[in-house]
Amino acid sequence: MSLLIFLVLILSIGASSASNATNNKRFPENFLWGCGTSAYQIEGGWNADGKGPSIWDNITHENPNFIKDGKNADVSADSYHKYEVDIAMLKELGVNFYRFSISWPRVLPTGFPDNVNQPGVLYYKNLIAELRSNGIEPVVTMYHNDLPQTLQDRDGIKNPDFVDWFAQYSRFCFQTFGDDVHYWLTINEPYVACTIGFYSVVYVDGIDDYVCMKNFLLAHATAWHIYHEELKMKGKVGIVLNSNWFEPETNSTEDLEASERTMQFIWGWLGHPLYKGDYPEIMKIRVANRSKLEGYNQSRIQELTSEEIAFAKGTNDFFAANTYTTSMVKRIPEAPIGTPSHNKDLGVESYQPSNWQSTGLDWLKVVPWGMRKLLKWIKNEYSNPPILITENGYADSTGELEDTSRMNYIRDYLSYIRDAMEYDGVNVIGYSYWSLMDNFEWVSGYTAKFGVINVNFTDPERTRTRKLSSYYYEKVIRNRCLVDDCQD
Ligand SMILES: *[C@@H]1O[C@H](CO)[C@@H](O)[C@H](O)[C@H]1NC(C)=O
Ligand SMILES: *[C@@H]1O[C@H](CO)[C@@H](O)[C@H](O)[C@H]1NC(C)=O
Ligand SMILES: *[C@@H]1O[C@H](CO)[C@@H](O)[C@H](O)[C@H]1NC(C)=O
Ligand SMILES: *[C@@H]1O[C@H](CO)[C@@H](O)[C@H](O)[C@H]1NC(C)=O
Ligand SMILES: *[C@@H]1O[C@H](CO)[C@@H](O)[C@H](O)[C@H]1NC(C)=O
Ligand SMILES: *[C@@H]1O[C@H](CO)[C@@H](O)[C@H](O)[C@H]1NC(C)=O
């Protein structure tokens, strides 16, 4: 290493650590603080009181190898029986809201509202009433991965009828719970669901994923129109988009373009139709081009009609974002034409340097500075929408109580969020830490723990114990500030 490069390194390390001090400004008074969970991950009671099976009940029972530790969420944290304990903990934390999801097959076991499971409805009515009586706003996700198995037996999301199935389900939710719920989230992480989640083993890469995303988009837009136009209800409806920030490896035109292209392919896949109308141009061009060379007579992307474009545009009342980490991206040579694939359509390489701080999950590196860049990108791309961060969190494999790494993660990510608000004028309206408590982390089973509260999964009582990070988060919420010495 030359002396000059050495000096530049020393200087830049000095400069970046100095500029990364924790933001000490108070968050606005109306900033919303919360914690999140989802039905399948915490509830248990998988067949209690008339609940129907979901695709996750089915796959964990029939194919345990799909899950890292071979386990399922038949009981999990048993929140179906312990929701009052959960709410008491939320009260202690002092959160303004709780983001949870309704299990579709718990309320509609066959998927359709001609067969309502009243005990399931009562469970959510009680949960919502208990939250309200404790001054905690419910933020309700309608679809968080647990599709009724009956609908999967009809091809699930890729069936064009899914749009109508979801319309019926969402109308049922709005009518049944809508008087007491003012924030609705239609679908959680459609990108993950269609490309790397459950459906990655069921759907064909480069084909069904485009159909899946289109149906989620139209299902969301239909729910939004039902809520505002048919039912004329007064709350807000959004869809939860997710991914990483994608940092260009260098400042070369190629890598900058690769970064922007990745953002458009992932965030823009539905963000563009929702805010600007239609899929991103770069995505349409690339998928159409490769489809043609592969011998398809039309683009695999399933172009939206002008009616569909108009129908979906403007149907997101706030930008709900789940984000945990950052990846580096660089341009790579065009993949040879062959079997279709979404990643070949995207055509970049992304990776996470091995010296980034790791966690209990391979894909989750601690990269707080990516948060500010992501928020700024969303602001500039979609004309400064109100942003609710619906998920952000740290996983370890132990569930340890002295979780200083999680505490630092919360502090550093929130610091960059506060920076984005202060220096970039990003309109962040709230933050929901994922997760309130340790739970079943999908294919990782119980090997990854995100909670600020520990759950003892070997204890029949599923005893909950607060971790260190929960005390820090409580203090942050109380002071609206990340440090002891705050500035207004
Ligand atoms: C500080 O932030 C910069 C970018 O904002 C980032 O490149 C650097 O890695 C950060 N340093 C630390 C120690 O987090
Ligand atoms: C799920 O259930 C259906 C019947 O409803 C069955 O045909 C299928 O094989 C099951 N397993 C998986 C992994 O989907
Ligand atoms: C790219 O340019 C930006 C702004 O000039 C600079 O902050 C950043 O360090 C550069 N990145 C690389 C990898 O050189
Ligand atoms: C279409 O793809 C081919 C090879 O994959 C590439 O050479 C060409 O530039 C592409 N055209 C456009 C318009 O992107
Ligand atoms: C395009 O191909 C599909 C099958 O891949 C076929 O059903 C359809 O008729 C074709 N359309 C035209 C216009 O050739
Ligand atoms: C979890 O619960 C089991 C059964 O009650 C108990 O034996 C064990 O000590 C508990 N673990 C911890 C860490 O408290």
335 CB within 6 A, ligand 4: no
Residues whose beta carbon lies within 6 Å of some atom of ligand 2: 58-59, 62-63, 149, 153
pLDDT value for 446:
98
155 CA → ligand 2 middle, Å: 11
What is the Cα–Cα distance from 232 to 234, expressed in whole angstroms? 7
Under 8 Å between Cβ of 287 and 299: yes
Between β-strands 183-188 and 137-143, what pairing exists: parallel, antiparallel or unpaired? parallel
Tokens of 267: 């965030």
What is the Cα–Cα distance from 100 to 139, expressed in whole angstroms? 7
pLDDT value for 431:
99
What is the Cα–Cα distance from 261 to 258, expressed in whole angstroms? 5
Under 8 Å between Cβ of 107 and 116: yes
How long is the chain? 488
SS (H, E, C) 115-160: CCCHHHHHHHHHHHHHHHHCCCEEEEEEECCCCEHHHHCCCHHHCC
447 CB within 6 A, ligand 6: no
List the one residue out of 136, 36, 95, 99 whose CA is nearest residue 435. Answer: 36
Under 8 Å between Cβ of 219 and 168: no
Cα dihedral 152→153→154→157 (10° resolution)? 10
List the one residue out of 251, 175, 184, 136 whose CA is nearest residue 390. Answer: 184
Give per-residue burial for 55-86: e unless 16+ CB within 10 Å, then b: bbbebbeeeeebbeeebbbebbbbbbebbebb
| DSSP per-residue codes, 410-422 | HHHHHHHHHHHHH
Q: 435 preceded by cis ω (within 30°)?
A: yes
Alpha carbon 464 to its chain's center: 24
354 CB within 6 A, ligand 6: no
Q: Which residues of the chain have pLDDT under 50?
A: 1-18
- Closest atom of ligand 1 to 373 CA is 5
- Strands, E, within 217-297: which ranges? 236-242, 245-248
**Ligand in nearest proximity to the CA of 357:** 1
H or E stretch covering 465: strand 464-466
What is the Cα–Cα distance from 274 to 268, expressed in whole angstroms? 9
List the one residue out of 475, 421, 485, 429 whose CA is nearest residue 452. Answer: 475
pLDDT value for 2:
46
* Type of residue numbered 459: D
pLDDT value for 198:
80
296 CA → ligand 5 middle, Å: 8
The SS3 assignment for 425 reads coil
How is the chain split into domains, by residue range?
A: 3-8+29-479
Q: What are phi and psi of 357, to 5 degrees?
A: -60, 125
CB neighbours of residue 125 within 10 Å: 14
252 CB within 6 A, ligand 3: no
- Closest atom of ligand 1 to 367 CA is 14
* Type of residue numbered 21: A
The catalytic residues are: 189, 391
Report the phi/psi class of residue 440: left, alpha or beta, with left for phi > 0 and alpha for psi in -120 to 50: beta
pLDDT value for 392:
99
| CATH (residue range 3-8+29-479) | 3.20.20.80
**122: CB partners within 8 A, 6+ apart:** none
Pocket test for ligand 3, best of 251, 329, 373 (most atoms within 8 A of CB): 251
Nearest CA to ligand 1 atom 12: 17
| DSSP per-residue codes, 45-95 | -TTGGGPPPBHHHHHHHH-GGGSTTS---SSTT-HHHHHHHHHHHHHHHT-
